[in-house]
Amino acid sequence: MASIRDLKKDINFVLGDIIEAVYQWEAATDNKNSAEGSSLVDKAIEAFDYLMDKVNTNAEDKKAHFKTVRSELEAKATELVEKLNALPS
């Protein structure tokens, strides 16, 4: 089983990369401080907070709990990337 530290790093890196991609999109398309970009960044931050809270809670079956958190991270990251890819270029 991967450590809790690794799971926290994964959450941070994945959602951080999505936020960075939004900033790159804004810079490349001259949409600085756009409503769409700000919305995606806010959703990524909300997902980060939610997932970190779940990681830091005590669960009886830790292995199953962290597996659920990891699958939620994958689902949320996929959703955010799809929204990012749908932004006009």
Q: How do the domains of the chain map onto residue ranges?
A: 4-85
Give the torsion through C-alpha atoms of 72, 16, 55, 3, to 10 deg. 100
Q: Which of 49, 48, 39, 51 is nearest to 17 (CA)?
A: 48
pLDDT at 33: 85
* Confidence band for 2, pLDDT divided at 50, 70 and 90: low
User: Hey, which bits of the chain come out as E strands?
Assistant: none
Residue 42 has pLDDT above 60, yes or no: yes
DSSP label at residue 2: -
Q: Which of 82, 85, 14, 2 is nearest to 48 (CA)?
A: 14
pTM: 0.92
Backbone angles phi, psi at 59, to 5 degrees: -130, 150
